[in-house]
């Protein structure tokens, strides 16, 4: 199903020929991987070979779609957004039930909320995964608007899905849930609040919401931003969750991706400095957070790309290049990017995950999508 992309409005300037030659092999491989792993339904598995990730996440998939859209894979991005819209149409009744329960002062079970991941056909996987994550629905709206701006498409064919996602975010967006890493269910996470704020702003800019819902979306977006500014700044920098004290690399999304704060805001500058000091390694990669033990707490190409994205937008192209160069070093002989690599913060904790699920995801499609998106930002900064 098309979401109204007008092929005549495509920007004819492909950013990739302007990238440095050293990036082109991985760029081409990443495009090939995005094409080959996208299913007929439009979904992207987080990883085609790692069993726990053979599902599609709204968050990971939206970032993959952003990378696809940024490098001109518009049909692929279009199909993913159409898949998301179809999922949300199917979930409209569930959203109505969640909204009604919350309005009545009742707390739904986690299984009643929308899940973070779906089967590739768009149906729910009924299991005990750590599913209650709100940010993906905001990130979808953010990525959808960017795609339509890039291609000149119309949001009208997906207005119902945009409305459903907005109703869900207005009802749940400032509640506690699991974070980007599917942890800490009892906290209100800054990256999540930023994704909610950005998603609701995007929904408003798509101009398909009715008046009352638009008013509620604006109020919720402003409140989510206020939560961050008023309750998530410690020692001048952002922290992982409200009233917390730990730094997390997902905080880089607040400005670089979601524009909830400006890239040159002193709080953002201090946050990036804290991430660089606490979470980057001499090898050049970026860890998730200081106490990470998942597969030993390695370095994630996704996060190096996110940090490169920030520096490209901020004008530090040499730092962006250094990070993207590190990402190149993580690719295997087939130019496939992993989820994470060493050195690890907790190497003694790796074996338990190897025994549970086998080696960590390789390839991770999100890594390739983020590489394409970050490289496009780097090219734009030239």
Which residues touch 346 (CB under 8 Å, ≥6 apart)?
A: 292, 293, 296, 297
Exposed / middle / buried, residue 75 (Cβ in 10 Å: 0-12, 13-18, 19+): middle
Instruction: Return the closest-CA partner of residue 337 out of 309, 304, 308.
Output: 304
pLDDT of residue 11: 41
Domain 7-380: CATH architecture, name and number where available:
Alpha/alpha barrel (1.50)
pLDDT of residue 382: 76
Q: Give catalytic residue positions.
A: 179, 182, 339
pLDDT of residue 126: 87
What DSSP state is assigned to residue 234?
Answer: E
- Separation of alpha carbons 75 and 200, rounded Å: 25
pLDDT of residue 3: 37
pLDDT of residue 183: 97
Domain boundaries, the chain: 7-380
- The answer to pTM > 0.85 is yes
- Separation of alpha carbons 381 and 289, rounded Å: 28
Confirm if 325 and 23 have CB atoms less than 8 A apart.
Answer: no
Sites in the chain below the pLDDT cut of 50: 1-13
Tell me the residue length of the chain: 382
pLDDT of residue 14: 62
Question: How far is residue 296 from each of residues 30, 182, 282, 346, measured CA to CA in Å?
Answer: 26, 16, 17, 5
pLDDT of residue 365: 98
């Amino acid at each position: 199903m098309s979401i109204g992309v007008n092929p005549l409005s495509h920007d004819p300037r492909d950013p990739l020929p302007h990238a440095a030659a050293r990036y082109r092999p991985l760029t081409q491989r990443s495009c090939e991987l995005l094409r080959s792993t996208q299913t007929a339904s439009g979904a992207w598995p987080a990883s085609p070979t790692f069993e726990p990730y053979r599902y599609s996440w709204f968050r990971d998939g939206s970032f993959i779609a952003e990378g696809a859209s940024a490098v001109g894979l518009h049909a692929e991005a279009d199909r993913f957004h159409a898949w998301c819209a179809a999922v949300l149409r199917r979930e409209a009744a569930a959203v109505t039930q969640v909204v009604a329960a919350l309005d009545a002062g009742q707390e739904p079970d986690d299984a009643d909320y929308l899940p973070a991941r779906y089967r590739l056909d768009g149906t729910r996987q009924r299991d005990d995964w750590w599913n209650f994550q709100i940010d993906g629905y905001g990130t979808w709206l953010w990525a959808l608007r960017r795609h339509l701006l890039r291609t000149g498409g119309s949001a009208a064919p997906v207005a119902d899905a945009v409305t459903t996602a907005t109703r869900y975010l207005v009802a749940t967006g400032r509640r506690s849930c699991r974070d980007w890493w599917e942890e800490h269910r009892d906290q209100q996470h800054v990256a999540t609040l930023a994704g909610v704020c950005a998603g609701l702003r995007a929904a408003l800019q798509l101009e398909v919401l009715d008046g009352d819902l638009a008013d509620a979306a604006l109020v919720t977006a402003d409140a989510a931003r206020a939560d961050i500014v008023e309750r998530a700044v410690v020692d001048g920098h952002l922290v992982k969750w409200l009233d917390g004290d730990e730094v997390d690399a997902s905080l880089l999304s607040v400005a670089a991706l979601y524009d909830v704060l400006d890239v040159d805001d002193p709080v953002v500058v201090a946050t990036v400095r804290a991430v660089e000091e606490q979470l980057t390694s001499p090898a050049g990669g970026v860890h998730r957070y200081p106490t990470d033990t998942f597969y030993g707490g390695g370095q994630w190409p996704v996060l190096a790309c996110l940090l490169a994205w920030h520096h490209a937008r901020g004008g530090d192209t040499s730092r962006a290049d250094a990070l993207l160069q590190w990402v190149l070093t993580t690719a295997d002989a087939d130019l496939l990017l992993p989820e994470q690599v060493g050195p690890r913060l907790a190497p003694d904790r790796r074996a338990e995950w190897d025994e549970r699920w086998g080696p960590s995801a390789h390839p991770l499609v999100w890594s390739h999508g983020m590489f394409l998106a970050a490289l496009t930002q780097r090219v734009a900064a030239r």
